[in-house]
């Protein structure tokens, strides 16, 4: 078991948190991620984030989750917890850090009184599919999004 500590994310790690977020969602700038993080920290009942921190104090993993009150494909209850994003630094992957981050998210969701944790992944992200399966998620649906200009 790696010596990573998993704990709730705080503004103390704003820069590292925003950097991991930017790797997950590069369409937003780091500054925009910092603004979103500060907004998220003001809504602890709806949004949660956990960091994996190594013995040197480096942030090496992030999981974010929300309470979704809109319909979530494949779920049987509403609201549900939703794993919005998860990322682990490449050098420390396959050491169980994502598993521990998801365990922290699950504990948080149970404390919110929720009974389902949902998630999604892009079709090509087979590593993410494997991680979800390994961590007890079952695949529910595959969907294609569309848009048109009006």
Q: Which residues bind ligand COA (CB under 6 A)?
A: 86-88, 93-99, 121, 125, 127-128, 130-131, 134
Shortest Cβ 62–ligand COA spacing (Å):
9
Q: Which is nearer to ligand COA, 9 or 98 (CB)?
A: 98
Sheet holding 117-119, edge to edge: 5-8, 47-53, 59-68, 80-88, 117-119
Shortest Cβ 79–ligand COA spacing (Å):
20
Separation CA 112–CA 93 (nearest Å):
29
Helices marked H in the chain: 14-24, 30-41, 97-111, 126-134
Contact 69, 82 (CB under 8 A): no
Q: Which is nearer to ligand COA, 86 or 118 (CB)?
A: 86
Could you check whether the bond before residue 43 is cis, i.e. omega within 30 degrees of 0? Answer: no
Q: Which is nearer to ligand COA, 14 or 121 (CB)?
A: 121
Shortest Cβ 96–ligand COA spacing (Å):
5
Q: Which is nearer to ligand COA, 19 or 95 (CB)?
A: 95
């Amino acid at each position: 078991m790696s010596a990573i500590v998993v704990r709730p994310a705080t503004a103390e790690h704003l820069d590292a948190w925003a950097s991991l977020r930017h790797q997950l969602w590069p369409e937003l700038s780091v500054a925009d991620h910092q603004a979103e993080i500060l907004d998220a920290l003001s809504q602890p009942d709806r949004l949660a984030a956990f960091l994996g921190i190594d013995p040197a104090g480096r942030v090496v993993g992030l999981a974010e989750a929300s309470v979704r009150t809109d319909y979530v494909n494949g779920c049987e209850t509403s609201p549900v917890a939703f794993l919005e994003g998860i990322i682990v630094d490449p050098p420390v992957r396959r050491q169980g850090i994502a598993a521990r981050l998801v365990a922290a998210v699950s504990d948080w969701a149970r404390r919110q009184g929720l009974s389902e944790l949902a998630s999604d992944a892009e079709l090509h992200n087979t590593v993410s599919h494997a991680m979800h399966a390994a961590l007890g998620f079952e695949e529910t649906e595959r969907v294609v999004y569309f848009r048109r200009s009006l």
